[in-house]
Structure 1
């Protein structure tokens, strides 16, 4: 697998959540994976310009991530990304986009990340990440990411989001995104039903975790942590159940700010989750082939399920 690091937050390298990827690397992220038998290539991704501008730098970073992910896929590697900002997942989605595979997204986060510039009063681009992924905003800049194609909203499952305004909740509920707040995500039957519905619409999935989806009683993942989050075991159960339904072909762990961590508890939670993600992930099928789509359609047909 290729373990990528994008150590940037709002265009700045190594500060706030941008310090998370390197902290996880120093704590032995790649060494742990190698000890479990994985062949790991490491790569730090940088924007193309030294000029820091939050919007421009974020999209430059995504352009570089997309290229690196496409190269990893061509080599038969699973791309796993440690990122400062959630919007870095756009580059992973773009790098793996293939018309032969219906791409899905399971996004775990304390927040909706579904803002658009017209609605957002906070001015934080990373709060737009999921909205960009489904084509709701920043379309011209998103098109500069090699391979980027907006996902249908019905291909997205948002899990654990709870820190939303009433307006944000209303927008999500009107959208085609399936949203499971923490209480619903904790119920295995509800979670499995949502994943089964997603598996009828997509062939492969990218697994994205903003680490603040976890309850801050473990340790705050960052300055945006909110109460009533999922436990580490609950997050790992979401991963396990996702992998039971769909091929997990890539993953992102994002938004870890070491300054808020308590006794490295969130760091260790992230590393354990990375181990599990590496264990269930599978390389993408060869580009342009039907791969899982044909296999899953045949399996569903023989079992009576609708593909």
Structure 2
């Protein structure tokens, strides 16, 4: 695997974001001088850098893993895999749907639209500048998504996009062919003490997440993985918990369930 470190939350670089990368894991830092323009230009500049890194790693025969500050990085990863000649399906593991739009969002938070952007919403803003071809909705699996707004539920009811509980996930549930995994750690139950930015009550424990990761990796079809550490920077009291959690997840990627 090739590891990358992208300490950004949307278009904001967070150098103090607590990424407790385990000892022995060497990660290439993704650092972009973002233009002082509108948010779309800044996001495209960041995702372009991500896409280039992922494409190069994939062409070299590696499975790139990005440790990032949010899920939107997966947009650049999908573009990079396509540039390397791959056509991955998407497995989106998240406590939330990330399926809002600018027209439906109650908060205006762009991170809550990450999967929708990847699926081609407002393609002129992000997908087209990156040359991204949105995946077919029937090749997308949403895992967990226990915290959905009414607009997101309505969207899911009207599309072939599938949804599955993490605890019930099996290899047969996964899309066929190569997959890009977006793994948002806010999927974990808040009792795991990661203190995510956007908590959702309930949810799976770490044991269930590790089992799901091993199941996905065991298919041999994982083209790339984004581990989204969606927490606020500057919380050293939880560093030990975060370090153990991330180390366990990375170990699970290396010890798949056949």
TM range (shorter): 0.7 to 0.9
Cα deviations across residues 105-134 of structure 1 (Å, max 9, x unaligned)? Answer: 111111100111121231111111101111
Query: 1:250 Cα shift?
Result: 1.0
* Corresponding position: 1:158 with 2:134: no
Q: Which runs of 4+ in 1 moved over 6 A?
A: none
| TM-score, structure 1 as length reference | 0.75
* Corresponding position: 1:125 with 2:110: yes
Q: CA separation of 1:156/1:108 partners in 2, compared to 1, >3 Å: closer, same or farther?
A: same
Aligned partners of 2:172 and 2:185: how far apart in 1?
24
Q: Which consecutive unaligned segments of at least 5 residues does structure 1 have?
A: 34-39, 282-307
Who is 1:172 aligned against? 156
* Corresponding position: 1:81 with 2:66: yes
Aligned partners of 1:8 and 1:97: how far apart in 2?
23
Cα deviations across residues 111-167 of structure 1 (Å, max 9, x unaligned)? Answer: 100111121231111111101111133444211125x21011111111111112222
The structure richer in strand per residue is 2
Who is 1:228 aligned against? 202
Who is 1:114 aligned against? 99
Who is 1:275 aligned against? 251
Q: Which consecutive unaligned segments of at least 5 residues does structure 2 have?
A: none
Question: Of residues 65, 73, 90 in structure 1, which corresponds to 2:75?
Answer: 90
Taking only aligned residues, the RMSD between alpha carbons, in angstroms, comes to 2.5
Give 1:127-146 correspondences, 5 Å limit: 127-146=112-131
* Corresponding position: 1:237 with 2:229: no
* Corresponding position: 1:266 with 2:242: yes
Query: 1:219 Cα shift?
Result: 0.9
Q: 3-state SS of the aligned residue for 1:162?
A: strand
Q: CA separation of 1:93/1:279 partners in 2, compared to 1, >3 Å: closer, same or farther?
A: farther
Aligned partners of 1:124 and 1:44: how far apart in 2?
26
Who is 2:3 aligned against? 3
Q: CA separation of 1:216/1:197 partners in 2, compared to 1, >3 Å: closer, same or farther?
A: closer
The structure richer in helix per residue is 1
| TM-score, structure 2 as length reference | 0.88
Q: CA separation of 1:228/1:52 partners in 2, compared to 1, >3 Å: closer, same or farther?
A: farther
